[in-house]
Amino acid sequence: MQLLHSQYGKSAVGLLKVFRDGDRQTVREITVSALVSGDFSGAFLAGDNSNTVPTDTIKNTIYALAHDHLDSSGIEPFGLKLAAHFLARYGQFQTVQLQLEEKPWGRMMVDGLPHAHAFQATGDGIRTAVIQARRSHPPDVTGGLQELEILKSTGSGFVGFPRCEFTTLPEATDRIMATRLTASWHFREAATDYPSVASKMREAFIEVFANRYSRAVQETLYQMAELALERVPEVDQISLRLPNLHYFPYDLGRFGIPNDQVIFYPAPNPHGDISATVSR
Amino acid sequence: MQLLHSQYGKSAVGLLKVFRDGDRQTVREITVSALVSGDFSGAFLAGDNSNTVPTDTIKNTIYALAHDHLDSSGIEPFGLKLAAHFLARYGQFQTVQLQLEEKPWGRMMVDGLPHAHAFQATGDGIRTAVIQARRSHPPDVTGGLQELEILKSTGSGFVGFPRCEFTTLPEATDRIMATRLTASWHFREAATDYPSVASKMREAFIEVFANRYSRAVQETLYQMAELALERVPEVDQISLRLPNLHYFPYDLGRFGIPNDQVIFYPAPNPHGDISATVSR
Amino acid sequence: MQLLHSQYGKSAVGLLKVFRDGDRQTVREITVSALVSGDFSGAFLAGDNSNTVPTDTIKNTIYALAHDHLDSSGIEPFGLKLAAHFLARYGQFQTVQLQLEEKPWGRMMVDGLPHAHAFQATGDGIRTAVIQARRSHPPDVTGGLQELEILKSTGSGFVGFPRCEFTTLPEATDRIMATRLTASWHFREAATDYPSVASKMREAFIEVFANRYSRAVQETLYQMAELALERVPEVDQISLRLPNLHYFPYDLGRFGIPNDQVIFYPAPNPHGDISATVSR
Amino acid sequence: MQLLHSQYGKSAVGLLKVFRDGDRQTVREITVSALVSGDFSGAFLAGDNSNTVPTDTIKNTIYALAHDHLDSSGIEPFGLKLAAHFLARYGQFQTVQLQLEEKPWGRMMVDGLPHAHAFQATGDGIRTAVIQARRSHPPDVTGGLQELEILKSTGSGFVGFPRCEFTTLPEATDRIMATRLTASWHFREAATDYPSVASKMREAFIEVFANRYSRAVQETLYQMAELALERVPEVDQISLRLPNLHYFPYDLGRFGIPNDQVIFYPAPNPHGDISATVSR
């Protein structure tokens, strides 16, 4: 028997950092997962932990480094700092994979003005980042966005598909399109402004979703990625997953009420599942 | 043995309605639970279903009535319509309880402008309503709001509490306060503008949360309810539940880093749980 | 404005206790919520916490008392002990409500034998208890069971129901019946063996569910409660909630395959919702 | 821009099949996700759906084939049948990936006997399978198990690990070990009895977990995989993921109660995360 591959670390490390600038405060709440690999065969084969940095230490490190290194430049630079620390500090780590998520706290509007220290969770999706670092190589940085729930009530159809004995789906030229977007974008090299890239990504995705007629979820996905790649030179590859969260017309004709595309029911399971990666 | 109380119906009936006004469209997505009571002893004691309107019929009715009766006046008027229909249509129903939830779809901003038919889930919380109707009585209407996640990074403390042998909590004059607000407000009689009441409620809650120093979650809760009652004469009673979602300082002093109220960890379980009802 | 009602405390306090009897060990994992009421108007109206026992102290107390008082007599006696402690220790508490849940850890079978110290979560549902205690009154004890998922593939039907313009449900003499049972049983006075009562309750519920033809979920619910009341004299009232988790036949006739009650799809939302309370 | 990779299909297709053998019935409830790839550039680049088999058709196919092909030989053979059908029926599919999950319905015990048609969800974990099929290649079959919650109250420790400035974890020679096991096993070629392999896998995992002292989660993981590989020649590779679900001693010393390893609290977040793949 042989150990082909292994990885260990700490997942779901949550932290909130408060930034103070006079009376004005800002918060960032992130969750970090740090998984490392290297030669840990001693632990696996002989219960020898002399190389095994405890996952509790990994957790403490995340909190400690957040104190000085998490800032407005976002989760990617903090992840890079963490990864560099882990590789420098522990010679037995060969690779470090960090997954970071940031909860979307927005400044609360009170009396029409943004408040100095009160915040509300928004629906702007969870910002994500993945840092893949290995010794003697430049780290690999991927930004992302997930849990963004969007829907359009028109501007979408699905026709011209092949039919067979198991096909019962009617064609539709005007249907509801809804999804919970997951996106990730790979940086060709270290970027200077990660939050700005994330904003441009989101804007491109939203703009395509809202403004262009969708003949297939596939087409919309591709156009989202294409527009984002056009606008963001720092990124060389984008992956998108767009589950097709179906809203089907409820058959009211049975009750003498017109089936006029007014009343739909959400059918979360089963759902369509479309994903692709687009590169330059 | 005797049947003391019973209730049956359909829960989790989800529907989306599309409203069209020229090119501009609006969506409302709601979930309805309809539970009825009456003399159903035949079904319970003898398996006699001759009085038992199928829950499937209850479901169909919700979709059918939504086609003509769900509109911009909100979930409370639609619930009242549904309840009146059930009582009028089925003599065996003595009470009808409707619970309605509305998902916060907001209009998508594209290029800085609200879009005509694209929407995004917001973090503005889920609007709720409960309609309690019984034959020969005016129905009872309660509006509400839940899943509103709010946090302030200062302006909150907890001191002066009693200490005993099991007390280890330190006093705090500047702590983080975070909650997932659940509120309900009872109407003294039918109102004319339910959405406007909901907006005023939310504004009052938010204003107190953001602007007033909190010496106890209890005090903040009371002030929220008090201000809302002052501003909304249609409402005679408000219930609030404010779980105290703790963010505790992570002890960095162990690593030679100052414990300067910068790094906190979220501790969802266990959590404080504070609720109260305030009336005129 | 006046404070009509209030309650506060700590929710979701999780703990695991290990019992050692020579080499044989046993574990109990419970979650406790403790909510108290009394005159806390000082905290609500004036931010005066001098009466407000911190929820953190409530949490510490639960852990501390578990060390000596949680044992094989179950969650009800431990809840009674906790409630008595809270009332005796803090004069400002007028009522104490405890909700306890126990996770179903079962002894692991290894090589066909029960293991001395290894356990596996079972599907036997979560045992619950609610203790309502108020000063100068005997406490009120309710046992319970929830999250018990059961299904029968025959022995259930639904016919003879009224039809109207919104009825599309066909009659069924042989359908699938599935539910996620929630039960609670109220003790007329303190019992001597709570775990035994819980076992008898479960057995009665299961026996009725499995062995008797169900003409309505209502009928089955009533018979479950009736049989349990017959067998357990300590209990004077039983409440049951049986959501009707639908499994509908998938229409295969469209593909030339017989619709012979073989292939069903689960339709979790919407679901029927039937509850009742039966007493002596 | 170019389409690097894409995949689409239907996820979360749930179905229940009833098997009848005289009075004795059996149920299997599974959830299937079917994702396909091939040349769908027409849909992505030009909204041309002429190759795009609707995900609704994929769903119908799963239900239709389940009628004749899902049986007691388990989810792997059914997945193989489905994959072969998809490749044979639709020339545009180059690969088919099926993920199958089976809910653990166990026969209900009534009066000490297994019942003919009543079932209860067990805690035996969810059986899984992944079929990777591509045109002109033998399909790749992986079986699996997940959501198996296991805990041992002794027989586990963690000592001898490296310490640094961020290490605060004490050594432990007797701690609680708990996990929610996820396993997958890859078949070197088509097997004859998939359920039997799954049983042997589970037994090997459980036996190691229960009977051997664990010096590290890593060691236990490796021994689980090693024993399973020794016993099951059909399998050439096993992957395991064992999150370390911490139960930490609650510090009762602060209250004058001995810290004697009796009272623990569950600390689900953050958690350790250990995974590895072991092969022959």
- Indicate which residue of C17, C26, C52, C55 is catalytic: C55
Which of the four pLDDT bands, split at 50, 70 and 90, describes residue C12?
Answer: very high
Q: Which of B17, B111, B266 sits opposite A14 (nearest CB)?
A: B266
Residue C94 in this model has a pLDDT that exceeds 90: yes
- Amino acid letter for position A193: D
Q: Closest to B13 (Cβ–Cβ): which among C51, C217, C270? A: C270
Q: Tell me, what's the pLDDT at A190?
A: 83
**Among all residues of chain B, which has the CA nearest to that of A265?**
B15
Average pLDDT, integer, range B248-257: 96
Q: What per-residue confidence (pLDDT) applies to C268?
A: 83
pLDDT of residue D63: 97
Contact between B15 and A211 using a beta-carbon 8 Å cutoff: no
Contact at CB, D161 and A9, closer than 8 angstroms: no
Q: Phi then psi for D171, rounded to 5 degrees?
A: -70, 155
Question: Positive or negative, the Cα torsion across D91, D96, D101, D107?
Answer: positive
Tell me if C264 and D18 make a contact (CB, 8 A cut-off).
yes
Residue D190 has pLDDT above 90, yes or no: no
The pLDDT value recorded for residue B37 is 97
- The helix (run of H) or strand (run of E) holding residue A184 is strand A177-187
Q: Identify all chain A residues contacting B200, using CB atoms and an 8 Å cutoff.
A: none
The pLDDT tens digits of the residues spanning B142-161 come to 999 999 999 999 999 999 99
State the distance between the two ends of chain C, measured CA to CA, in whole angstroms. 42
Which tens digits make up the pLDDT trace of D211-263?
A: 999 999 999 999 999 999 999 999 999 999 999 999 999 999 999 999 999 99
Token digits of residue D196: 């039997």
Express as a percent the part of chain D with pLDDT over 90: 98
Average confidence (pLDDT) over C128-140: 97
Cross-chain Cβ contact D176/C119 below 8 Å: no
Question: pLDDT tens across D135-153, in order?
Answer: 999 999 999 999 999 999 9
CA distance D280 to D277: 10
Collect all residues from A whose CB is shorter than 8 A from any CB in C.
165-166, 168, 254-256, 268-269
First to last CA, chain B: 42
Are C106 and C118 in contact by the 8 Å Cβ rule? The answer is no
Token pair for A149: 């729930």
Run of H or E residues at D109: strand D105-110
pLDDT tens digits, one per residue of B110-133:
999 999 999 999 999 999 999 999
pLDDT at residue D189 tops 90: no
Chain B residues inside the 8 Å CB shell of D168:
254
Residue in B15, B96, B166, B167 to test binding to C, most C beta-carbons within 10 Å: B166
D32 to chain A, minimum CA–CA distance in Å? 9
Q: Which residue in D62, D53, D152, D61 sits closest to D94, CA to CA? A: D53
Cβ–Cβ gap D215/A49 under 8 Å: yes
**Residue closest to B222 by CA, chosen among B174, B212, B232:** B212
Calpha distance B217→B178 (Å, rounded): 10
Q: In order of start, what are the domains of chain B with their CATH numbers? A: 8-135 (3.10.270.10), 147-279 (3.10.270.10)
Q: What ipTM describes this predicted complex?
A: 0.95
Omega of the bond leading into A233 within 30 degrees of 0 (cis): no
What is chain A's pLDDT, residue by residue, as a tens digit (280 residues)?
999 999 999 999 999 999 999 999 999 999 999 999 999 999 999 999 999 999 999 999 999 999 999 999 999 999 999 999 999 999 999 999 999 999 999 999 999 999 999 999 999 999 999 999 999 999 999 999 999 999 999 999 999 999 999 999 999 999 999 999 999 999 998 899 999 999 999 999 999 999 999 999 999 999 999 999 999 999 999 999 999 999 999 999 999 999 999 999 999 899 999 999 999 9
| Residue to test with chain D: of B246, B250, B252, B255, most D Cβ within 10 A | B255
pTM of the predicted structure, to 2 decimals: 0.96
Counted residue by residue, chain C has a size of: 280
Put simply, the answer to whether A6 touches D244 (Cβ < 8 Å) is no
Which H or E run contains A244?
A: strand A235-244
Residue with tokens 């709001």: B145
Label residue B11 by pLDDT band (50, 70, 90): very high
| D34 pLDDT higher than 90 | yes
Residue D133 to residue C96: CA distance in whole angstroms: 60
Q: Would you place residue D130 in the very low, low, confident or very high pLDDT band (cuts 50, 70, 90)?
A: very high
CA distances from A55 to A231, B28, C6, D176, D184 (A): 40, 46, 42, 16, 24
- Give the tokens for residue A10: 């700490």
CA distance C120 to D179: 10
Span between the terminal Cα atoms of chain D, in Å = 42
Coil, strand, or helix at residue D227? Answer: helix
By CA distance, what is B242's nearest residue in C? C8
Contact, A131 vs A121, CB < 8 A?
Answer: no
- Chains in contact with D, where contact means 3 or more Cβ–Cβ distances below 8 Å, are A, B, C
Q: What mean pLDDT comes out for the span D119-136?
A: 97
Cβ distance of B4 and C222 shorter than 8 Å: no
Find the Cα–Cα–Cα–Cα dihedral B185, B188, B190, B194, rounded to 10°.
-30
- Answer whether C32's CB lies under 8 Å from C13's CB: yes
Nearest to B203 by CA among B246, B155, B150: B150
On whether the CB atoms of residues D244 and D169 are closer than 8 A, the answer is no
User: Taking 90 as the threshold, does the pLDDT of residue D268 lie above it?
Assistant: no
Active site residues per annotation of B? 10, 55, 246
Q: Cα–Cα distances in Å, from A209 out to A156, A194, A206, A225?
A: 10, 23, 5, 11
Q: What is the pLDDT of residue A268?
A: 84
**Residue A258: CB atoms within 10 Å:** 9
| Bridge partners of residue C152, in order along the sequence | C177, D118
Residues of A in contact with B104 (CB under 8 A): 123
Query: How does DSSP classify residue C160?
Result: S
pLDDT at D96 over 90: yes
One-letter amino acid for residue C111 of the chain = D
Model confidence band, residue C189 (pLDDT cutoffs 50, 70, 90):
confident
SS3 B24: strand
Produce one character per residue of C43-69: b if its CB has 16 or more CB atoms within 10 Å, e if not: bbbebbbebbbbbbbbbbbbbbbbbeb
Chain B residues in contact with C227 by the CB 8 A cut-off are none
Instruction: Give chain B positions within 8 Å (CB) of A15.
Output: 250, 263-266
* Chain C: partners with 3+ C-beta pairs within 8 Å: A, B, D
Q: Give the per-residue pLDDT at A153.
A: 97
Scanning every residue of chain D, which has its alpha carbon at the shortest distance from the alpha carbon of B268? D269
Give me chain D's average pLDDT, please.
Answer: 97
Asked whether the predicted pLDDT for residue B189 surpasses 90, the reply is: no
Q: CA dist C176 to A203, C241, D147, D236, Å?
A: 48, 18, 26, 40
* Of the partner residues C57, C225, C243, the one whose CB lies closest to the CB of residue B169: C57
First to last CA, chain A: 42
